[in-house]
Chain A
Amino acid sequence: MNKPVLQLISLCLMFFGAVSGGYSTENRAIILQSTTSTQNSGLFETILPVFTGKTGIQVNVVAVGTGQALKNGRNGDGDVLLVHAKQAEEKFVAEGFGVSRQDVMYNDFVIIGPADDPAGIAGSNNVLAALATIAKTKSLFISRGDDSGTHRMERALWKKVAIDVARHSGNWYREAGSGMGATLNIAAGTGAYTLSDRATWIAFGNKQDLKIISQGDTLLFNQYGIILVNPKRFAHVKATEAQTFIDWMVGPEGQSAIASYRLDGKQLFYPNAR
């Protein structure tokens, strides 16, 4: 009876060795708290290997909504944040959780909707008028509902047209509480409108009969910022490696890597670091 038990224990130790052995090569790895839009669009898979190849620093991406990324950053669970909600980012830095915030890149948001366009707003480049019409016609609208950067933008837009969407929640206004892709899946399945960042939309594989209904309004500008989590506050933050990464992202190499990322021949992110 003892022999198999010993075998099992040694097998278990082997497994543990294999698991923990994985870490030793990763002590120069940093954790990047970022958004689903940057992950789902495939940007990181293209540009991060370039950075790792040059510096030997591995970047581990945790993709969550901007709200959760900022929260995780407040807990010290990450070295760098790449998110898109400028006001909240500046607050994060002002409160001492981050060192400084820099612009990295931008793209824009678009209103996605079913091809048959029940609200009759296709082609409009006035996003406020488009949203007001969606509300007036009570056309189905799927909100992210997850406190992400996109959700914050959407709430700001509803506020501008003075529509209290909370009153219509569960009716024509539906809060998915999910990432961008999952929200687009719901919109595709129910023939509804939604607000999406352009990168996720272009990369999204289940468009069915959804299309871009409204775009081009200057209000729909989508700015991404990068922040170093404050090493004075969290001693474990790998400040040197993280700063190397930030410098690369806002420097000429990172900026041109971002600019050259294309999907279906379309540029997804436009670098604008100063």
Chain B
Amino acid sequence: MGEISNAFAIAFDLILRADAELSAIVFLSLKVSMIAVFIACILGFSLGAALTTFRFFGRRGIIILLNALMGLPPVVVGLVVYLMLTRAGPLGILGLLYTPTAMIIAQVLLITPLVAALSCQVLQELNGEYDEFFRSLNLAPGARMKALLWDGKSALVTVALAGFGRAISEVGAVMIVGGNINHVTRIMTTAIALETSKGTLALALALGIILIVISITINASVMLVRASSEARADV
């Protein structure tokens, strides 16, 4: 398979040359996904903590729904966001279609259920351990949520990483709402799809290799930071 060995050579070459076009694409990919993850974490963590702390009718239903939405097909999300943002759609007046903002909106919709469902799971476990303690202190719900989120932060980082993984690897939704416009909305995954459709498979695979390397680097650095902060906390 010449294409595969070729791909590694191209990937290596692109990285060594610090190719300007590629750097811009990588930068936009990271920017879109990181903002999306950040927003999804604010929404998802709060939702997770609220579902853990408050007991109300329909709570279980919401948790089941969130779990199901973890498997939301990106193309459907893309289509819904497209129909919202198209000039003929309800939010068309904002002129957001084919902008990075549209891509962020799609990714937030895609990963918020994932972040919410996973953080809910993490926090419920923690809540089980802390419940009696909370009761003895007679803590208000707000303080409970705060304590849960703070003590669960280490596991929540992993949840955020899972969300980031889904965001950065996604192609179906961002292709529809971003339009894969060169220098405007082209990111790693849509560039890979484009090169595949041009039949330049080695370059497409090279971009894929770079994407994986970036993902590994980000995951590893977050884990390292976490490990060192835990080590410091133990001292």
Contact = CB atoms under 8 A, between A and B. Distances in A.
A122 B201 CA distance: 27
B87 A76 contact: yes
A36 B193 CA distance: 12
A75 B88 contact: yes
Interface stretch (A88-96, A155-163, A165-173, A181-189): A181-189
Nearest to B27: A18
A15 B37 CA distance: 12
B92 interface: yes
A206 B199 CA distance: 4
B184 A26 contact: yes
B197 interface: yes
B174 interface: no
B169 interface: no
B108 to A, nearest CB: 13
Nearest to A188: B199
A77 B87 contact: yes
Contacts of B35: 12, 15-16, 19
A206 B204 CA distance: 12
Interface-centre pick from B86, B104, B179, B199 (highest chain A CB count, 10 A): B199
B101 interface: yes
B134 interface: no
A19 B98 contact: no
Nearest to A179: B197
Interface stretch (A56-64, A128-136, A213-221, A245-253): A56-64
B98 A77 contact: yes
Contact of A185 (B87, B92, B196): B196
Interface in B112-162: 150
A35 interface: no
A87 interface: no
A199 B181 CA distance: 20
Contacts of A179: 197
A273 interface: no
A181 B31 contact: no
Among A178, A180, A182, A205, residue most surrounded by chain B Cβ atoms (within 10 Å): A205
A204 B180 contact: no
Contacts of B200: 205-206
Contact of B201 (A8, A74, A205): A205
Of A16, A181, A184, the most chain B CB neighbours within 10 A belong to: A181
Contacts of A40: 197-198
Contacts of A45: 182
A11 to B, nearest CB: 8
Interface in A19-45: 19-20, 22-23, 26, 29, 31, 36, 39-40, 45
Interface in B92-114: 92, 95, 97-101, 104
A207 interface: yes
B38 interface: yes
A185 B197 contact: yes
Interface string B2-42: 00000000000000000000000000000100110011000
A23 B200 CA distance: 31
B95 A236 contact: yes
Interface string B37-58: 0110000000000000000000
A16 B105 CA distance: 13
A188 B34 CA distance: 38
A19 B197 contact: no
Which of B98, B101, B197 has the most chain A CB atoms inside 10 A of its CB?
Answer: B197
A203 interface: yes
A61 B182 contact: yes
Contacts of A178: 197
Contacts of A203: 198
A200 B100 CA distance: 28
A75 B88 CA distance: 5
Given A36-B197, A184-B199, A15 B182 contact: no
A62 B98 contact: yes
A29 to B, nearest CB: 8
Contacts of A6: none
B199 A60 contact: no
Nearest to A183: B197
A181 B86 CA distance: 27
Interface of B: 31, 34-35, 38-39, 86-89, 92, 95, 97-101, 104, 150, 179-182, 184, 194, 196-201
Instruction: Give 8 nearest A-B pairs by CB, closest first.
Output: A181-B197, A206-B199, A76-B87, A205-B199, A62-B179, A205-B200, A75-B88, A204-B199
